[in-house]
Amino acid sequence: MIVAKFGGSSLADAAHFHMVKDILALEPRRRYVVVSAPGKRSDTDQKITDLLLTCHNKAQRGASFDAEFALVTERYQDIARELEIDDHIIDSELMEVKSALQTGASISYVASRGEYLCAKLFAKWMNLPFVDAKDIVRFDSLGKLNQAATLRLIKDALKKHRKAVIPGFYGADEESNICTFTRGGSDVSGALVAAALDADLYENWTDVTGFRSADPRIIEDASYISSLTYRELRELSYMGASVMHEDAVFPVRNAGIPTSIRNTANPQHPGTLIVHTLRQIGKLPAVTGIAGRRGFTTIILEKMKMNDEIGFGRKVLSVLEKHCINFEHLPTGIDALCVMVNTDALNSKRTVIMDEIEAAVHPDAINVQEGIALVACVGAGLFKLHGTIARLFTAVAEQGITIRTMFQAPSELSIIIGVDEHHLESAIKAIYDAFIRE
């Protein structure tokens, strides 16, 4: 059995509803469908969720939200009319949302109505049962997902239905107050349904053909990754490569369920399959993907015999912790410790932090280097295949790029190099040409 989640752009209008219907008809194992709210139909269009959030904002300020609400209404009515669905239900639901807005409904309730109405329409059109997410996705009183309760509720509710349509993005707390995930959270809902039902596959249907091996803004023709592991995905996502909500990974990964990223407008393309286990050594590409991020600063602390000094690292990190600064990486030498932090976060409190580090560990020297970009070369084959690291450094060196820092992730899944920010793109291009370009 397959759980298929369709994103906002996949349900933006009636034509897309038809595409989704065809995709479901192609594979009868696609039995549970999780939907987002209708997204943009063109670059200049607005997502239903954004319109609803604007309505809420205006209602809170006592301003008129009629114009935005009319756009929401029009979108659902257009879909209903073109699909020849009796729009009575949708009209009364929309009236309810409007009066809730007028009487101070919560932001989560209002935001969630995009998915709710979309799922209602789709279920009606497909003649499938609608199961409200408020009854099966449980949040705690602080608005945090209660995953154990959610998995139980989904399982109990959906075993009564061979097929069902479920709105994504929201759930409710014990008091039935609607709560939402962060933006893009229908991915998480879909993953939870897949995990609860022990699906064979979780399909995430979107408007891209899969995960690219490098950012297409840097490598225009970057290839699509046909398959990668969840751990590789995590490394690439940390560096900013993303096609799916970060929190969607954990439920399916823990349940050992593969995820397939597919393009609704191009259903023939196999997309990207994300799997749990490593592929056989020998078939592994050395580099699965490359991703990079600007905006890092390295704080290099040198002190003779640092290695022998118990608590050195803890004292340095305590200063950062006290100022709520997250350290991103921590490469060390015998007499030196390098802490990599986000430049913007550090700069807001830089002087006081440097003074406190100085007082805490009395280093012989502190060297702060701003403007560092990190490039991660991710691949389960990186450490298994002969000569790959030498190839990587050669490729970068041949472009005249100085490597400021480098470290191997303990996961043995990635090598991360630090370069000057203006070298980020050329470093990615050099590595791409050395490993991925055919």
Q: Which residues bind ligand ASP (CB under 6 A)?
A: 7-8, 36-37, 47, 49, 114, 168-169, 183-187
Taking the complex as a whole, how short is the minimal distance between the CB of residue 201 and ligand ASP, in angstroms? 19
Q: Point out the residue whose Cβ comes nearest to ligand ASP.
A: 186
Alpha carbon distance 341, 318 (integer Å): 14
* Continuous H helices in 5-84: 14-26, 48-60, 66-82
> 132 or 370, CB closer to ligand ASP?
132
Looking up tokens 């370069």 gives 419
Alpha carbon distance 131, 32 (integer Å): 10
Taking the complex as a whole, how short is the minimal distance between the CB of residue 7 and ligand ASP, in angstroms? 6
Taking the complex as a whole, how short is the minimal distance between the CB of residue 141 and ligand ASP, in angstroms? 23
Radius of gyration in angstroms for the set of CA atoms belonging to the chain, rounded to a whole number:
25
Alpha carbon distance 239, 378 (integer Å): 10
> 9 or 288, CB closer to ligand ASP?
9
Taking the complex as a whole, how short is the minimal distance between the CB of residue 47 and ligand ASP, in angstroms? 5
Taking the complex as a whole, how short is the minimal distance between the CB of residue 184 and ligand ASP, in angstroms? 4
Q: Pull the structure tokens for residue 146.
A: 């209660």
Q: Are 367 and 302 in contact (CB under 8 A)?
A: yes
Q: What are phi and psi of 409, to 5 degrees?
A: -65, 140
Give the DSSP letter string of 133-163: GGGT-BB-TTS-B-HHHHHHHHHHHHTT-SS
Q: Are 65 and 52 in contact (CB under 8 A)?
A: no
Q: What is the Cα 344 distance to its own chain's centre? A: 22
Q: Are 184 and 245 in contact (CB under 8 A)?
A: yes
Taking the complex as a whole, how short is the minimal distance between the CB of residue 364 and ligand ASP, in angstroms? 50
Alpha carbon distance 288, 297 (integer Å): 27
Q: Pull the structure tokens for residue 106.
A: 């919560």
Taking the complex as a whole, how short is the minimal distance between the CB of residue 323 and ligand ASP, in angstroms? 32
> 8 or 171, CB closer to ligand ASP?
8
Taking the complex as a whole, how short is the minimal distance between the CB of residue 138 and ligand ASP, in angstroms? 18
> 231 or 262, CB closer to ligand ASP?
262
